[in-house]
């Protein structure tokens, strides 16, 4: 069975690939240290971006396309170098990895700084000279017409589905025992779910499979010698002992790890066997694997050293959210409008926050009910923060002063214009977020924000990740680029059963999050992600799947329906000196709510599916 990591681009581009294209691909792999699978993902992502709303098949892989992609790679490399220089030039975090609550700008004094213009500013700035402001770049459910003229503006009902107190843990004191217990318990929880699912299948079957009957009572240890088929549950891991290498798996290094109860934590190599699927005439496809993924396999281990996987079992899915009809009637009587934007909120050539000002103008014009802003808000790596003389504001001594003068002032203007608007800010879990002392993921809200940052009354900080309901529509927000991280560590393994593979890399990433019931299922995490493993349970979806999943990423903006969930990547509001994108989400009322109130108590208490994917319109717009 050929390995993607060892093969050329022929398995991806076809046997009739042009030799010149194959040579160019090999050059790109060598120049930018890319495996064939990584390069394939990047080519597909670039083709999706070029295709826009059209079919990706209209954008063939040509020599010119690969040359353009090389220029994109080079531009990304230069941006990374610029960011690194900014980090090296700035002050390092405080001892212990915690960012101080108040940090004085380099070279600042108690005396006001004279008002100056940024040395990066010029009349040729891309944001200032853009000509496509307000252009709709992508639409989901464009056939839905939202009428917000009926009814008077009402304040959206917000319900939180997380315990904020659990996020206020102490960082830099992670205990190995607590981390291992969480990882072990996660396998056990999925094992219980699989057993319940198998027991349900056995009850519904007139002639149940003996393997399923046995597994419904007791799951097996994949390390034990077995000649008959058994069902096992475990975590995908790499056999590498080096942390830098253990976040990537391939055919030769992939293992399945058991829990302590089921197999004493043993790690066993496995191999996907295709004989059974091919004998049944099923079309071969690819199965997505990544470190930290919980899987359920059916197979055997005749030698005790290699588990032969006959079948990859689907994990039980989370149910769709439901609410009593009576509860749904208590929400607002007109469609809800939510505007979502991801930072940075100012361009790299100045720190005047002109894109944020434009965004607030659009929120006021659109009469938004809820505004969700995702950090970073004050970016530690911004070039203007290295040279405080470049700041176009007087009397700024700390980064909190800068936030209060710029971002908080815009939020106050928004609240003055819209009497019922509510704004929620979600910090980014990284050292880029200057106003957040707690940089580990999961991340609590900014502490004492009203006093230190001058936050207005109806603007609140949320934790990261956050689970909230806006007028009964459940939102899950993860302000960490998990889709990019999944694409970096994902490995595609050939398998039968064509219904378990999603070719679109973005939709596949969202589906992995839903199947794994977590907004951060990767383990170990990437080196630049400060994870608190013991508290990753705060990022799990335990009861239902969300109606809307907000997953900002450096990958291309999108709005898709995946497994009855509306997944949104609004894109960044700014891209270096260029204008970026934001998302406008309109949620119409459920049809059942529009019907007259029934006199029957039973009818009013009947549970109704939210079905937000059917009544939600999303527009990705250029700022």
Listed residue (589, 518, 606) closest to 322, CA to CA: 606
pLDDT above 80 for 114 = no
Question: Which of 187, 174, 207 minimizes the C-alpha distance to 442?
Answer: 174
In b/e form, how buried is each residue of 20-37, taking b as 16+ CB within 10 angstroms?
Answer: ebeebbeebbeeeebbbb
pLDDT at 550 over 90: yes
The residue ranking higher by pLDDT, 35 or 56, is 35
CA distance 343 to 340: 10
Q: 77 versus 583: which is more confidently predicted?
A: 583
Ramachandran region of residue 609, left (φ > 0), alpha (ψ -120 to 50) or beta? beta
What rounded mean pLDDT belongs to the chain?
A: 84
pLDDT average, residue stretch 222-241? 91
Q: Which of 325, 383, 333, 337 is nearest to 362 (CA)?
A: 337
Question: Are 342 and 573 within 8 A, CB to CB?
Answer: yes
More confident residue, 284 or 353: 353
Q: Which runs of consecutive H residues, i.e. helices, occur in 264-382?
A: 275-279, 325-329, 354-366
Rounded percentage of the chain residues whose pLDDT exceeds 70:
84
Judge residue 576's burial from the number of C-beta atoms within 10 Å of its C-beta, 0-12 exposed, 13-18 middle, 19 or more buried: middle
Least Cα distance to 182 among 607, 584, 535, 553 occurs for 535
Q: What is the pLDDT of residue 297?
A: 94
Contact call for residues 506 and 555 (beta carbons, < 8 A): yes
H helices within 367-524, ranges in order? 383-386, 399-405, 407-417, 449-452, 482-489, 505-516
| pLDDT value, residue 18 | 80
**Token pair listed for 587:** 């949620």
pLDDT at 116 over 50: no
pLDDT above 90 covers a percentage of the chain that reads: 50
Mean per-residue pLDDT for 25-53?
Answer: 83
In this prediction, residue 503 has a pLDDT band, given cuts at 50, 70 and 90, of low
Classify residue 72 by its DSSP letter: H
pLDDT for the residue 10: 62
Q: What pLDDT digit, counting tens, does each position of 562-583 carry?
A: 999 999 999 999 998 899 999 9
Spatial separation of the C-alpha atoms in residues 376 and 425, rounded to whole Å: 10
Q: What digits encode the pLDDT tens for the residues 122-147?
A: 333 479 888 889 999 999 999 999 88
Say whether pLDDT at 90 is over 60: no
Mean pLDDT of 541-569: 95
Q: Which residue has tokens 């802003």?
A: 373
Alpha-carbon gap, residue 446 to 479, rounded angstroms: 14
pTM, two decimals, is 0.81
Q: Copy the structure tokens of residue 512.
A: 């992995």
Surface-to-core class of residue 275, CB atoms within 10 Å of its CB (0-12 exposed, 13-18 middle, 19+ buried): exposed
Place 8 in a pLDDT band, splitting at 50, 70 and 90.
low
Phi first, then psi: what are they for 335, rounded to 5°? -55, 150
Put residue 33 in one of left, alpha, beta given phi > 0 → left and psi -120 to 50 → alpha: left
Residue 508 to residue 502: CA distance in whole angstroms: 5
**CB atoms near residue 221 (< 10 Å):** 20
Task: Identify the top-confidence range among 71-80, 83-92, 150-159.
Answer: 150-159
Average pLDDT over residues 296-315: 92
Q: What is the pLDDT at residue 124?
A: 38
Give me the mean pLDDT over the 503-507 stretch: 81
Q: Cβ of 293: how many Cβ atoms within 10 Å? A: 23
Predicted pLDDT at 113: 35
């Amino acid at each position: 069975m050929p390995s993607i990591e060892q093969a050329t681009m022929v398995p991806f581009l076809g046997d009739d690939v042009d030799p010149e294209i194959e040579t160019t691909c090999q050059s790109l792999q060598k120049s930018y240290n890319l495996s064939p699978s990584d390069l394939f993902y990047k080519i597909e992502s670039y083709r999706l971006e070029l295709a826009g709303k059209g079919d990706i098949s209209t954008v063939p892989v040509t020599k010119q396309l690969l040359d353009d992609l090389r220029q994109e790679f080079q531009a990304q490399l230069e941006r990374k170098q610029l960011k690194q220089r900014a980090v090296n030039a700035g002050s390092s975090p405080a001892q212990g990895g915690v960012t101080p609550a108040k940090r004085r700008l380099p070279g600042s004094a108690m005396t006001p700084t004279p008002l100056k213009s940024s040395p990066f500013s010029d009349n040729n700035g891309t944001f200032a000279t853009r000509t496509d402001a307000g252009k709709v770049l992508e639409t989901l459910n464009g056939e839905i017409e939202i009428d917000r003229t009926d009814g008077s503006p009402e304040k959206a009902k917000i319900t939180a589905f997380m315990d904020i107190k659990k996020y206020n843990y102490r960082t830099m004191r992670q205990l190995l025992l607590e981390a291992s217990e969480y990882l072990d318990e996660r396998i056990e929880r999925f094992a219980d779910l699989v057993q319940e699912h198998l027991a349900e299948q056995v009850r519904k079957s007139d002639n149940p499979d003996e393997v399923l009957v046995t597994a419904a009572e007791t799951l097996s240890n994949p390390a034990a010698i077995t000649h008959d088929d058994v069902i096992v549950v475990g975590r995908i891991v790499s056999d590498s002992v080096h942390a830098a290498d253990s976040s990537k798996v391939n055919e030769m290094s992939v293992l399945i790890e058991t829990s302590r109860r089921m197999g004493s934590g043993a790690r066993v190599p496995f191999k996907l066997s295709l004989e059974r699927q091919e004998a049944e005439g099923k079309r071969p496809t690819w199965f997505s694997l990544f470190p930290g993924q919980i899987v359920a396999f059916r197979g055997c281990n005749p030698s005790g050293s290699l588990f032969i996987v006959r079948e990859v079992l689907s994990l039980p899915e989370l149910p769709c959210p439901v609410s009593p009809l009576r509860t749904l009637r208590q929400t607002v009587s007109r469609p809800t409008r939510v505007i979502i934007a991801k930072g940075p909120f100012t361009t790299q050539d100045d720190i005047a926050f002109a894109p944020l000002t434009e965004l607030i103008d659009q929120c006021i014009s659109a009469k938004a009910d809820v505004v969700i802003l995702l950090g970073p808000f004050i970016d530690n790596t911004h070039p203007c923060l290295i040279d405080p003389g470049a700041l176009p504001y007087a009397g700024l001594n700390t980064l909190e002063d800068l936030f209060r003068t710029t971002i908080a002032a815009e939020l106050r203007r928004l609240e003055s214009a819209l009497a019922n608007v509510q704004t929620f800010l979600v910090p980014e879990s990284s050292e880029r977020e200057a106003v957040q002392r707690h940089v580990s993921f999961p991340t609590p809200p900014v502490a004492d924000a009203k006093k230190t940052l001058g936050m207005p009354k109806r603007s609140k900080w949320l934790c990261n990740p956050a689970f909230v309901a806006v007028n009964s529509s459940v939102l899950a927000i993860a302000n960490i680029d998990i889709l990019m991280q999944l694409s970096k560590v994902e490995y595609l393994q050939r398998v039968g059963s064509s219904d378990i593979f999603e070719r679109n890399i973005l939709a596949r990433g969202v589906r992995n999050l839903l199947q794994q019931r977590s907004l951060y299922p990767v383990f170990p995490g990437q080196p630049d992600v400060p994870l608190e493993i013991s508290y990753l349970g705060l990022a799990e979806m335990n009861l239902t799947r969300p109606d809307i999943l907000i997953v900002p990423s450096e990958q291309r903006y999108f709005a898709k329906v995946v497994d009855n969930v509306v997944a949104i990547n609004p894109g960044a509001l700014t891209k270096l000196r260029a204008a970026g994108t934001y998302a406008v989400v309109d949620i119409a009322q459920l049809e059942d709510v529009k019907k007259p109130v029934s006199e029957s108590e039973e009818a009013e208490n009947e549970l109704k599916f939210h079905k937000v994917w059917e009544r939600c319109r999303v527009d990705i717009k250029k700022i």
